[in-house]
Chain A
C-alpha cells in the first residue's frame, strides 16, 4: 500500500515538473499563445468548452469500443479457424500481417469511399487496425496448450467440443487479453486517425479527431491542447479498463496481473 502511494506521488511530481517546465519555456522564450498556450489557458479552454469536449470524447470512445468489440468477435473467430491446422495458418497468416503493416491513412479514404463518412466507418477503421494483435495472440494461446493436457482429455474420451471449451479456450484467455490490451491502445489511435478522414459530420458534431482538425484550422491552439489531453485520457482509460478486466478475470490463477507492470 505504502509503495503504491509513493508510486502515485512520484508520478504526480513528474507531472508537476513538466507543467513548470512548460511555463518556464513560455516565460523565457516568449512563445506566442497560438503556437504554445500556457497550461492555465488550456485548463480554461477545458472548462469553457467542457460540454463539447465531453461530446467529442464520448463519440470517439464509442467508435473505439465498437472497433475493439468487433475485432474481438472477428479475431477470436479467425483464431479458432487458424487453430485447426498448421496448413490454414501458413496460408492465411501473412494476410493478418498485411492488416498490421498497411498504413491506416492509406485505407481510411477507401473506407470513406466505400461505406461513407460517419461513426460506423470510423469504427471500421479502428477495427481493421486492432484486429491483427487479437488474431495473433489468441491463435498462439489456442495452439500452445501443453500436449499432456490434451492427452489427459483424450484419456477421458473427451469430445472435440469439450477439448475446445474446457481446455483450449480457457487456456487462450490470458493471450486474448494481451491482444486486447495492445488492440485497445491502437484502436483509440485508429479512431482518432479515422475521424480526421471519415469523422467529419454534416451535422457539426464529431469525435476528438474531427475536433482536432477543426481546432487546428481555426488556430484554437488552447482547445487543440485540451483535445490532445482528452485523447490521452481516453487512451489511458481504455488501457486501465482492460487491465482491470484482465485482473478481474485472471488474478485467481494467472501470473499476468497488474502488479509487475506497476513496479
Chain B
C-alpha cells in the first residue's frame, strides 16, 4: 500500500531579505498519520520549516503542498501549537478553546458542545471558567492543545510545545498527546530540542544541521504503538536515544 502524502516539500529553500540562507534546499515528504519530529541544534531552521508548512512565511524557492493544496489554502485542516500556550488572557479557558471555531464562524451551540467535550478529554473540565493566569504551565498547554484539536485538524504543527514545562509534566503531556493521536489519527510535525521526547513521540525523526539549515539524517522509530510510560525503561528505547544523540552530535560543526 502506498500511503497518501500529507506534506510534499520539494527543493524548498528560505532566506530572509538578502541575507544568508536559513534553509538550504530541502526535500521532505510526510505521509498521512505519520508523526515526524524535527530535531537539531539552534539555527538549523526547525521552526522555519513549520512556518513554511503553515504558510506563515513563503519559501524563497521550491514548491510546497499540504494535502495537495497550497499551504494557505490548507489552513482549514491545519492547527498550530506554539511554544507558549498563547492563550488570550482576557478569555476564560472555555472561550479560549473555542477561539478557532469562533473565528471560523461556527455557531455558539455547536462550539459549546465541542469545547466542553475537548476540555473533558484533556482533563480541564473543572477549570473551564477559570482565566489562564489561574492555571499552571502544564494546564495552559493542555488548553492550548484542546484549542488546536477543536477545529478537527488533519495536520498538527507543534513548535517546541512542551519546552517550558518541567520534565514530569512534559512526559505526561507526551503520553496524552499520543492517546489523542490514537483516537483522532492526525498527522504531526513536531519540533523539539529533547531527544527523549522525539523518540517517545515519533514514527520518524529528522535531524537537521545548521548554517545553513539542511537535513542531516533521517531515523525511523520502530517502537510499537501504543506507547506508554513503561516504554521509556526499555532497552529498545535506550538504544534509539543513543542513535539519535549520535546523529545529533554529528550534525554539529566540529
Chain A residue contacts of B83, Cβ below 8 A: 148
Given the contacts A155-B75, A170-B90, A148 and B151 also touching, CB distance less than 8 Å: no
Central interface residue in A156, A167, A255, by most chain B CB within 10 Å: A156
Interface string of B115-149 (1 = CB under 8 A from A): 00000000000000001110000000000000000
Interface flag for B99 (CB, 8 Å): yes
From residue A151, how far is it (CB to closest CB) to chain B in Å?
5
B103, A149: Cβ atoms closer than 8 Å: no
A35 in contact (CB, < 8 A): no
Q: Which of A151, A162, A166, A253 contacts B89 (CB 8 A)?
A: A253
Contact A149 B90 (CB under 8 A): no
Interchain CB contact under 8 A, B89 and A153: no
Q: Decide: A156 and B104 in contact? CB cutoff 8 A.
A: yes
- Choose from A151, A166, A252 the contact partner of B56 (Cβ within 8 Å): A151
Q: How large is the interface on B (under 10, 10 to 19, 20 to 34, 35 or more residues)?
A: 20 to 34
State whether A254 touches B89 (Cβ < 8 A). yes
B163 within 8 A of A: no
Taking a contact as CB atoms under 8 Å apart, the answer to whether A148 and B86 are in contact is yes
In the complex, whether A158 has a CB less than 8 A from a CB of chain B is: yes
| Residues of chain B contacted by A153 (CB below 8 angstroms) | 103
Structural contact, B76 and A152, CB atoms closer than 8 A: no
Interface residue tally for chain A (C-beta within 8 Å) = 21
Shortest distance from the beta carbon of A49 to any chain B beta carbon, whole Å:
47
In the complex, what residues of B have CB within 8 A of residue A156's CB? 75, 99-100, 103-104, 151
Among B56, B91, B131, B133, contact of A154 (Cβ-Cβ < 8 Å): B56
A85 touches B (CB below 8 Å): no
Chain B residues whose CB sits within 8 angstroms of the CB of A254 once the complex forms: 89-90
B80 touches A (CB below 8 Å): yes
CA–CA, A166 to B104, complex, Å?
13
CB neighbours (8 Å) of B56 from chain A are 151, 154-155
A146 within 8 A of B: yes
In the complex, whether B79 has a CB less than 8 A from a CB of chain A is yes
Q: Cβ of A157 < 8 Å from any Cβ of B?
A: yes
Neighbour of A157 across the interface among B84, B86, B88, B103, CB < 8 A: B103
Map CB proximity to A onto B52-87 as digits: 1 under 8 Å, 0 otherwise.
001010000000000000000001101110111010
Please indicate which of the listed interface residues B76, B84, B103 has the most CB atoms of chain A within 10 Å of its own CB.
B103
Q: Contacts A157-B104, A170-B88, A253-B89 given: A152-B82 contact, CB under 8 Å?
A: yes
A156 to chain B, nearest CB (A): 4
Measured CA separation A152–B86 after assembly (Å): 8
Question: Is A149 a contact partner of B86 (Cβ separation < 8 A)?
Answer: yes
Specify the chain B residue showing the minimal Cβ separation from A156.
B103
Q: Given A151-B82, A152-B80, output 5 extra A-B contacts at Cβ < 8 Å.
A: A151-B80, A155-B79, A156-B99, A162-B103, A166-B103
21 examples of A-B residue contacts, CB within 8 angstroms: A148-B83, A148-B86, A149-B86, A149-B88, A151-B54, A151-B56, A152-B80, A152-B82, A156-B75, A156-B100, A156-B103, A157-B103, A157-B104, A167-B88, A173-B90, A252-B90, A253-B89, A253-B90, A253-B131, A253-B132, A255-B133
A residues sitting closer than 8 Å to B (CB atoms) are 146, 148-149, 151-158, 162, 166-167, 170-171, 173, 252-255
